[in-house]
Amino acid sequence: KNPALVFADCDMDKAIEGTMRSVFANCGQVCLGTERVFVQRPIFDEFVKRLKSGVANLKLGRPEEADTTMGPL
């Protein structure tokens, strides 16, 4: 239920990693999960592109399977 703020001088790798974790940890079912991401304009396009790529690489599946990175919602 928290916003994420991503500034133009961020470490992009860490910003993507942190955003992925805060949005999708425990399938997004935690009270401190990020629901809104505010990104400064100069890095917006790159951030969205890289976040989309990270999300596309999530493997949905059964939690007991080793290659699953996101379980059921």
Structure-token pair, residue 45: 């396009």
Between 40 and 73, residue with greater pLDDT: 40
Query: Using an 8 Å Cβ cutoff, are 47 and 16 in contact?
Result: yes
Which stretch of 7-16, 47-56, 61-70 has the lowest confidence by average pLDDT?
61-70
Query: Does residue 28 register a pLDDT over 70?
Result: no
- Please tell me the pTM assigned to this model: 0.83
Checking if the pLDDT of 18 tops 70, the result is yes
Lowest mean pLDDT of 20-24, 26-30, 44-48, 67-71, name the range: 26-30
What one-character-per-residue DSSP string does 2-70 give?
Answer: EEEEE-TTS-HHHHHHHHHHHHHGGGG-STT-EEEEEE-HHHHHHHHHHHHHHHHT--BS-TTSTT-SB
Q: Is the pLDDT of residue 42 over 80?
A: yes
